[in-house]
Each structure stands twice: as structure tokens, then as C-alpha cells.
Structure 1
Amino acid sequence: MDQRAAIPVTLPRENPTRSYWQLEPHEIADMRTTGLLPGKAEVVIIGSGITGAAMAFNLLEKGTRDIIMLEARQACSGATGRNGGHTKAASYLSFQAHEKHHGTAVAVKIARLELANIRAVHAFAREHGIECDSHPCDTVDVVYDAARWEFDQRAVKAMQDAMPSDDASIYALHSTEEVSSKFFCGHGGDEKVYGGLSYEAGSINAYKFTTGVLKLCLEKGLNLHTNTPALNLERLKGGGWKVETPRGSIEAQKVVLATNGYTANIWKKFQGIIVPLRGHVTAQRPGLSIPKDRLAGSYTFFSKKGYDYMIQRPQGTQFEGDIVIGGALTNAVADGLEEYGTTDDTTLNDDIVKALEDSLPKYFGDNWGKDDQEGRIRNVWSGIMGYSPDGLPFVGEVPGEKDLWVSTSFQGHGMVLCWMCARALTTMMNGRSDEDEGEGLSSWFPEVFRITEERMRLTFRGRLRN
């Protein structure tokens, strides 16, 4: 892993695989708000995914007006626009580890933040009329390994003991028979189902959601420049930063890195600290026997070696009934070791793609039926995530670098972390400890998410979230 983590992180590659969500690029995909790149700004945000969009919206709402956003490729062309469509926390999986390393209070705070993030994203889409296939729904985790099923039951109990009356700890456990009858798994499949868990989650077109947020920001005065990579940061003697791009330089009072897996390219001290990991996702036409309107909103399938994650496109959406499934990392050579450290989303790993292409008839068995006459696979793509040594995001001001701010490294879990982390970072940047509603930042934001010198000295050993 040391060799993979040491691979120099590049800028986002040109001509990436085409994401299912971007088959029809948004009208702002190649937008440059002004013909020329301004020479000065109060804030420069680097990255136009969900974190960058959320930061821009929050800062504009709090009164910042002179904001330039830089994007190396098209708007929202990174991880946000290439994900699997989930808003799903699965907080029980990491709860006991958080409790062991950080204490029960912190573990509870993380679980609450994740659920709050899910609800906030869907509420924002609803409040602002963003058409993004927002679909709050339950999810189910189907477990194909006896030891994991025992672990899951212990983990749920630990959460419920620690937070007995909290929404974040509401899980329903399902027997093998219930998983088969209610969720259509385990009947005719190749592997034994040991049980399942269902809980609150959702699915969403994150590309449409984020471009919708960016449109709101443009209306409030955001200056967006796509296809304009940030090449270098230089601290100015009088304070602030110079951001160099191929189209000229910008002097900014503050810089925000919303760059996730690409962060080490622009700030080299993150090399080996935020490590890219390439993920793969497929969009598949449902089998002719699959119930198009009765599947759970989303699924995760856990085996002994790894997991796959899946949503079915809700009714009334484009490609209604399509199944979007990603994962299969451990099906690659050496459990996917060569997927770490790469920023190449222009290509695919054949072993992972083959595993994903074959996965659904295995999971749904007799309930799948014959493939659609147009073929099972509609689209396949890859994307780059960012992972940290301790499995937590980095949020805050970079130690020793005044006015260089980050909200990055979301462990493939950004749709249940980015929104609330952006809210916290906005509060930090404005030098305030309290939100408008009167609740202090420390009451809901986990301090272990803050970037520190100590965390920057940790050694990356691989992904920690299951």
C-alpha cells in the first residue's frame, strides 16, 4: 500500500469514461461566467462537486459576494457526478470502531450527522424545486456471510444501547425468509443469505442535484469557470493566496479545496494522506421478471470479501426501473490494490466490470428472469474517490497555512457527509462558533473531522469504512 499511496496525484484526466448521470450534460457543464478570468477574488473554491457547490451556496447566503469557482473539467464531472446514486449512511458499520477510538459521544455525533446530512440534502432539493430524482426511501443490507451477520447484529445493538430513542439507531432486522419474500433476494441465488437490515436512506441523481445548487449560486453571483484547472497555490507575502491556472492567476483572500481525491495535486502535503481510489459503477436494464415497482429503494450486498451497492431508478424518472450497481473492488487482483493511487477514470478494470455485470442475476436469482432484449448493460463508468488514513474527512483550515481551507476525503461516503461538512466549514471560515438557529458548532459537528497536524502525520493503510 505504501507504493500505491506514493503515486503522484494528477489533475483530473481529460476524456473520462462517460457517467450514466451525464449522458445529457447540464447546460452549465462548460460555463465560464465571465470571458476573462478575474485577477482578484475574496474566495476561490477549487472543485465544483457537491462540496464546492454547498460551500458556494453557504458562503453566498452568509454574505460573501466575490467568489470564483474553478473546475478542471466540466462542472460536477468528478466523484459527485460519477457515483452510485445513494444517500445511505449505514452508520452501524463504523459505530463500534468510532466508539472504541473516539468514545461513545463522538460515535453518536457522527451517526446523527450522517442521518441529518441525508435529510438535509433531500429537504434542500424539495425546498428549492431541484429536479434531481430525489427519493427518500428505506434501504436494505443483504448479508451473505455468517460472521458479518453476527457482527451486524452486535453493531446495531451497540448503537441502540448508546442512543435508544434516536432516529439514527432505528434498524429493522430481517430473517433469511423475510429477505427472500420482501426483498426478492436469496431465492434461486448462488449464495446463502443469513439475514438483512433495513433503515432510512434515499437515492438521488447527485449530478442534477449539484448542478441545480450551482445554478442557484450563479443567480446569487457565483463566478464559475469550468475547464480551468488550478495548477499551483502560492502564499502571498501580504496575506492571501495566488491561484495559478492556464488562463491566468487569481489573488484570493481565502482558498477552499473541495477537491477530494485530487487534493494532493494542488497541495503536495496531502500526498499519501488523501489517497485516490478508483471505483466502478454500472447501469443495467432490469431482468424481465424483476418487480419494477416493489424493490426496496436501495440495496447493499455484503459477502465475506466485500460489497456491492445498488439503487433502482424510481418511477417517473428517465430510465425508470434501471438498476445502478457499483462496488466489486475485491474482485480485482490483490483485492483491488491497483485501484488505489490512480486518478485514471478514463479506463476500466475488466475484472471489476465483469463482476458487476454478472452480479444481479446472482443476487436476485429466479426473480431476475431473462435479460432485457436490448441487453443487460446500459452504461459502465469509473470515478475517483478520496480516502484518509483514519477513515474520516479533513475539514478546516490547513495547519500552519492561514486562509487555506479544506473539506475533503470522504471515503466514498460523500453523499452523507459533504453537505454538513460544508456547513461546518462555512461557520469556521466566518469565525463563528454558532449557527443562526443558536446551536453551537460543537453540539453537532464531530471534532475528529477537523484537520490537525497529528492527523496529517498518519500513515495510509487502506480504506477503513466497510
Structure 2
Amino acid sequence: MSAKYLPKNNPTVSFWLNHDDPFLKHRSGPQIPDEVDVVIIGSGYSGTSTAYHLQEQNGQLKIAMFEARDICSGATGRNGGHIKPYGHRMYEYYAQAVGEEQAAEIVNSEFEHLWTLKKIIEDNSIDCDFFLTRACDVYPNSEDPRVKKDLAGFYAMLRNPLVKDEFKREIQLLTGDAAKRASKNERTEMAFTYPAASCWPWKLMTGILKKCVDRGLSLHANTPVVSVQQYQGKRWIVKTTRGSTICSKVVYCTNGYTKALLKEFSDTILPVRGVVSSLTPSTGQVVPHLTNTYGFMTDKPQNYYLINRLDGTVIVGGHGESLFTETSDPFEQVLDCVDDSFVNAKSFSVFNKNFMKDKFVTWKNTQIGDVKLWTGIMGFTNDYLPYVGGLECLGYTNAYIVAGFHGHGMPRVWLSGKAIASCIVQDKPIEEIEYTCPRAFFLTHQRVQHENLYRQHLYAKYNFKPKL
């Protein structure tokens, strides 16, 4: 165990966590249980999905969930509130890396998440500000290399007969005046629109977790797991700062913090610090409503994404370049970093009161009154894909992982958690259960050992030579 990579105890406060709901601190009892069937490490999206589906498939299981800080206060409680299937973006990379059949599985699964989450929310009456709309990807610079790249991905995806026709019909390529109208950006010559949604991610996941607790989940906030050790053969003893629990199976839903407990992922899932902001208009104004969610796309790490809330607040995240500015080593505060306790000055200069005016013609006369920023830790993987499956190939029996969602978890995690729950209940490897998540996500020894393409990409982009 590497304590250096455990969650910090003084994180910045996100928009989604700025409230007094006592569930933030929930503990199902004064002590953690002595013994359970399954321990889930992490109370975010991955842990929530895994617990929900375990209970759906076998209501008799005794399950404990340990969270290092407040409930759902990691990446899920700090993201941009965006449920956005990529589809065309990254498609060519997927096709080259895993083939057209598995690339189609990724596209179809992300699209399926929209409707699956919508149904879960409606069936369980979860109040989480879920709003089904369309995403609009905006390309303000027609000469940017990203334009050519994403166009190529779009047309390649359309040619794949295994991608659902429904998604192909729903995605639209707009150019010229049509792109300007949809994007509300004067400089845009091209835009894509496609189905997406926005939500209050903390309320979504805790709405589900509360139901899991009602059905018997033993949930414990501020209970960091410090080690997981083999116990009597195929069982595990999970040690926390509040005692230990023996279990038959353990699930690592640890995302950017995975390397703190699993040394095999030291260069496989890297913690990466990101920044998100909330921009609140001054009171007494008629706030222009944005009909879509948005992404501003470039070939540089200056991409933005944003959602427009019904109360007028805009949540904006991205612009990774604003994080790489204040040290001689441009990576020490971003790459391989779990410190979400601060926001650097450059980020405040990017996410400022003029941000919306500069991007949208409809916001020219609207004043931003309040700007708040926070940081969060994402789990970026060596091959840009999540890790979902059993850890037997690494020598760990009855241990599983759902982690490494590369800053794009909202349209990927739910069915990944379902897959792991199925593995546990059916006592089968992920390759033998009924299909529930893309095969490209399955954990293999070869994938874990693969060179870190993401790290290489950043080093090349910033012309950075790591210290020896």
C-alpha cells in the first residue's frame, strides 16, 4: 500500500457537494462489520453500480462499502454533470486498437447508458435534475487538426454496420450557418449534435445508494482502506482506519486512487487532477437558456465542456492546459497527482466572469456574479480504456476491479458495475457472463503491462523530458 496515493483529507468543495445532507457522513453503525460476503472499496459511481446490481441479482448477499472521505465525494461528486456518449470522437483510435467489432460495442454501450440511466432514475423516482437533451460539439477554428480527425472518426463510425442505426440517425453534422445557430458561437464552421443528458451526479448516485442502504448495504463514510491482504486461502481481510472486515470477495472501485492499493497499476491507472467551475449569473437578470450541453473542441488540451442548469448556473470543466503552468516540472501538480485540495491561479484566469460572453453570442449582455472552482482526481489509463474484470491474471483470486474511466465515466460505468456484479453472483470470469459491457474494457495481464500511451502523449505534446 502507498499512503501517498490515498485521498487527501482536505479537498476543495465542489458545487455538487456544497450542502448539508447528512448522508454525506453516513455510517451504517458505530463499527464496521466483522465479516461480509463482499467488500466494495469506493462509494462513487462504480461502487454504487456494483452494489445496486449485486442486490438486484442476489438480495441475500452481505455487502459492505468503505469510502475514504465523505460519501460519493471523489470524481463522481466533482465532475461536470454530463452524461455524454462520444460515438465519433476517439472512434478511429478504438477501431485501430481493438478492431471494428469491439469499437462498435463501445459506441453502442455509451449510447445505451443514456436510456438505461433515464429508466433507473424514473423507476426509482430519484430527484437529481436529470435533463435529457443534445450535446453540441463546437469547433471554433476550422483549421484546427481536430476538425479533420473528428470528421474522419465520424465517417468511419457511420461505415461500421455494427454501430446501432439509432445512434447513426441521431448524430448530426452541421456546417456553416447551421453550425453557428446550434453552437451560438460566431466563429464556428462545424458542429456535431447528438443525444446527451445533464444531471446532479451526487444526487443521482446517492439516491441509488440510499436505496441500497435500505436493502441492507453496510455503508461507511470516512473509512479509508489502508490494505487488502489474503486471509485463509481465497478470502480477504480488508483493513481500514476503523478496523478490519473479512470478506469472500473484494471489489476495487478506486478509479484514480487504484495504485494506492494495487501496485500492479502503478503505471497503468494514473491519477490526474482536473478542474471544474460553476458560473452563476448576477441576480435580477433574464438568463439566456442554452438548449444543448456543449463541448469546445481543439487539438490542444484546451477543450471545454459545459452544462446549463435550469437555475441559470453553468457548470464548466476542462482546459487541462490551465493546470500545467506553475512549476518547473509541468506534471507534478497534474499527472500522477491525488491532491485535490487547491486550485491554481491560471484556472481562475480561464474560468472567469467573461467566460460565457466570449463563447456564446446570447450571453453578451449577461453578467456573471459568482465564480467557484474546485478540483477532482480522475483515473487515466495506459490505453485510454477502463479496467473491468477479475484480478486472477495478476494473482488475486476473488478480487475484481471497476476503475480507470479516463475522465469519461458517466456513459461507461453503470454497465461495467453490472458486469462485475454478474461475475460475483455467477462465480464466473467476465468473459463467460452474459454481455454487459464492452469487451475492450476487460482486464488482461497484457493490457496492464502495456506501455503507457497516455503518458507518452502528454510528454510529446509538452515536449517534456521526465527527470531521471
Structure-1-length-normalised TM-score: 0.89
Instruction: Return 5+ residue gaps in structure 1 as ranges.
Output: 1-6, 187-191, 315-319
The answer as to 2:352 corresponding to 1:354 is no
**Bigger CA drift: 351-360 or 141-150?**
351-360
What one-letter code is carried by the residue in structure 2 that aligns with 1:447?
R
Distance 1:202 1:266, change over 3 A: same
Deviates more, 1:126-135 or 1:141-150: 141-150
1:184 match: 184
2:52 maps to: 57
8 A contact 2:28–2:220 mirrored in 1: yes
* Residue 317 of structure 1: aligned partner: none
Q: Which amino acid aligns with 1:99?
A: A
Rate the CA distance shift 1:387–1:79 in 2: closer, same or farther, 3 A.
same
Closer, same or farther in 2 for the Cα pair 1:230/1:209, shift >3 Å? same
In structure 1, the partner of 2:331 is 337
Instruction: State the match for 2:463 in structure 1.
Output: none
Q: Does 1:173 align with 2:167?
A: no
8 Å contact 1:140–1:296 — kept in the other structure? no
Whether the 8 Å CA contact 1:172–1:199 is kept in 2: the answer is: yes
Whole-angstrom distance in 2 between the partners of 1:78 and 1:155: 32
In the TM superposition, what is the alpha-carbon distance from 1:287 to its structure 2 partner?
Answer: 7.6
What is the alpha-carbon distance in structure 2 between the residues aligned to residue 432 and residue 268 of structure 1?
Answer: 25
Are residues 25 and 92 of structure 1, via their aligned partners in 2, closer, same or farther at CA, if it must alter by over 3 Å?
farther
Q: 8 Å contact 1:203–1:297 — kept in the other structure?
A: no
1:59-74 equivalences under 5 Å are 59-63=54-58, 64-74=60-70
Letter in 1 for 2:106: I
- Counterpart contact for 1:8–1:271, Cα < 8 Å: no
Q: Check conservation: 1:290, 1:369, Cα contact below 8 A.
A: no
Paired residue for 1:305, among 300, 307, 315?
A: 300
Match of 1:153 in 2: 151
Q: Is the 8 A contact 1:139 1:296 kept in 2?
A: no
Relative to structure 1, the CA distance from residue 299 to residue 289 in structure 2 (aligned partners, 3 Å threshold; closer, same or farther) is farther
CA contact (8 A) 2:84 2:411 kept: yes
Equivalent residue number for residue 401 of structure 1:
396
User: Is 221-230 or 453-462 further displaced after alignment?
Assistant: 453-462
Q: Which among 379, 387, 394 is matched to residue 386 of structure 1?
A: 379
SS in structure 2 at match of 1:108: helix
Is residue 2:413 matched to residue 1:418?
A: yes
**Counterpart residue identity of residue 454, structure 1:** Q
Q: 1:293 to 1:359 in 2, by over 3 A?
A: closer
**Partner amino acid for 2:450?**
L
Displacement of 1:365 in angstroms is 4.5
CA contact (8 A) 1:233 1:242 kept: yes
Identify the residue that residue 448 of structure 1 maps to in structure 2: 440
- Maintained 8 Å contact 1:9/1:262: no
- Aligned partner of 1:115 in structure 2 is 111
* Distance apart, 1:36 and its partner CA: 1.5
Kindly indicate whether residue 322 of structure 2 is the aligned counterpart of residue 323 of structure 1: no
8 Å contact kept, 1:288–1:370: no
Do the aligned partners of residues 336 and 204 (structure 1) sit closer, same or farther apart at CA in structure 2, a change above 3 Å counting?
A: farther
Paired residue secondary structure (1:89): coil
Instruction: Name the amino acid aligned to 1:247.
Output: R
Bigger Cα displacement from structure 2, 160-169 vs 286-295: 286-295
CA contact (8 A) 2:276 2:373 kept: yes
SS of corresponding position for 1:362? helix
- The match for 1:12 is 7
Deviates more, 1:248-257 or 1:140-149: 140-149
* Other structure's SS at 1:337 match: coil
Instruction: Deviation per CA, 1:322-365: give whole Å up to 9, x if none.
Output: 11001010234369634111101111122133212253222125
Work out whether residues 260 and 410 of structure 1, in 8 Å CA contact, stay in contact via their aligned partners in 2: yes
Letter in 2 for 1:324: I
CA contact (8 A) 2:185 2:361 kept: yes
Over the residues paired in the alignment, what is the CA RMSD in angstroms?
2.6
Preserved CA contact (<8 Å) 1:287 1:368: no
Deviations for 1:224-282, whole angstroms, at most 9, x for unmatched residues?
11111000011113321011111111111010111100011122221121100111000
2:217 is matched with 222
Whole-Å Cα distance in 2 between the matches of residues 218 and 60 of structure 1?
10
1:40-51 equivalences under 5 Å are: 40-51=35-46
Asked if 2 retains the 8 angstrom alpha-carbon contact of 1:19 and 1:382, the reply is yes
Secondary structure (helix, strand or coil) at the match of 2:375 reads strand
Quick one: distance in 2 between partners of 1:333 and 1:290? Answer: 36
Using a 3 Å threshold, how does the CA distance of structure 1 residues 294 and 246 change in structure 2: closer, same or farther? closer
Determine if contact 2:25/2:221 at 8 Å carries over to the other structure. yes
SS in 2 for 1:210: helix
| Aligned residue type for 1:69 | M
Q: Distance in 2 between matches of 1:286 and 1:336?
A: 33
One-letter amino acid of the structure 2 residue matched with residue 390 of structure 1: D
What SS class does the counterpart of residue 462 from structure 1 fall into? Answer: helix
1:226 and 1:348 mapped to 2: Cα distance? 25
